[in-house]
């Protein structure tokens, strides 16, 4: 069986792709391009339904509390930092959702705010991934007994079934990646 941290690392690969799409859309909007409402809606749906409602719940509800309880002061500090970043990411994503079907053409200032917010979400999630892969996951693998992690895989599966598994989101993101990550920059 794969370790739960392997499952989370696989989520990170897909999340990084979704963020590349978001930053690509942000750059296009900043440069004055027409607002790509449908693609933006899909990218935000991915952030809301996969990143927030599946991936971050796996980490925030299961992994972080276990590491904080079994770890030392440094682990507790790390989990506190991740919780803070998680809260900021949630607020930023919700503010982006306000933009996804703009009624009128955006002003230059609104375009800049949108692009800055896309970049801020991407930067915070990249920071979370870095902290998790270099500190949280190693601490989890070293300090949480395998038996304690057995239920996590089931719970991970439940969360994915509720909101769409990683494979489905990878299919949905594939055309956006071609458009926005590779084609637009």
> Whole-angstrom distance between the N-terminal and C-terminal Cα of the chain?
39
Rounded to a whole number of angstroms, the minimum distance from the CB of residue 144 to Fe ion is 16
Rounded to a whole number of angstroms, the minimum distance from the CB of residue 183 to Fe ion is 27
Q: What is the Cα 56 distance to its own chain's centre? A: 7
Residue position matching structure tokens 């991740």: 82
Q: Which is nearer to Fe ion, 115 or 144 (CB)?
A: 144
Rounded to a whole number of angstroms, the minimum distance from the CB of residue 57 to Fe ion is 10
Residues 123-142 interacting with Fe ion (rule: CB under 5 A): 132
Burial 166-177 (b: 16+ CB within 10 A, else e): beebbebbeebb
Q: Which is nearer to Fe ion, 62 or 176 (CB)?
A: 62
Q: Which is nearer to Fe ion, 132 or 160 (CB)?
A: 132
State the greatest distance between any 2 C-alpha atoms of the chain, in Å, as a whole number: 55
Q: Which residues contact Fe ion (rule: CB under 5 A)?
A: 132
């Amino acid at each position: 069986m794969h370790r739960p941290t392997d499952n989370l690392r696989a989520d990170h690969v897909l999340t990084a792709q979704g963020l590349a799409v978001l930053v690509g859309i942000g750059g296009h909007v900043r440069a004055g391009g027409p607002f790509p409402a449908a693609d933006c809606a899909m990218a935000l749906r991915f952030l809301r339904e996969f990143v927030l409602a599946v991936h971050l719940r796996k980490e925030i509800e299961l992994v972080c509390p276990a590491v904080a309880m079994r770890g030392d002061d440094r682990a507790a500090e790390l989990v506190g930092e991740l919780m803070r970043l998680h809260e900021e990411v949630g607020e930023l994503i919700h503010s982006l959702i306000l933009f996804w079907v703009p009624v009128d053409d955006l002003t230059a200032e609104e375009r800049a705010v949108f692009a800055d917010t896309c970049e801020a979400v991407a930067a915070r999630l990249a920071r979370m991934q870095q902290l998790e892969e270099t500190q949280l996951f190693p601490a989890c693998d070293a300090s949480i007994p395998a038996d304690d992690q057995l239920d996590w895989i089931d719970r991970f599966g439940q969360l994915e079934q509720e909101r769409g598994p990683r494979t489905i989101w990878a299919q949905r993101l594939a055309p956006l990646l071609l458009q926005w990550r590779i084609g637009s920059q």
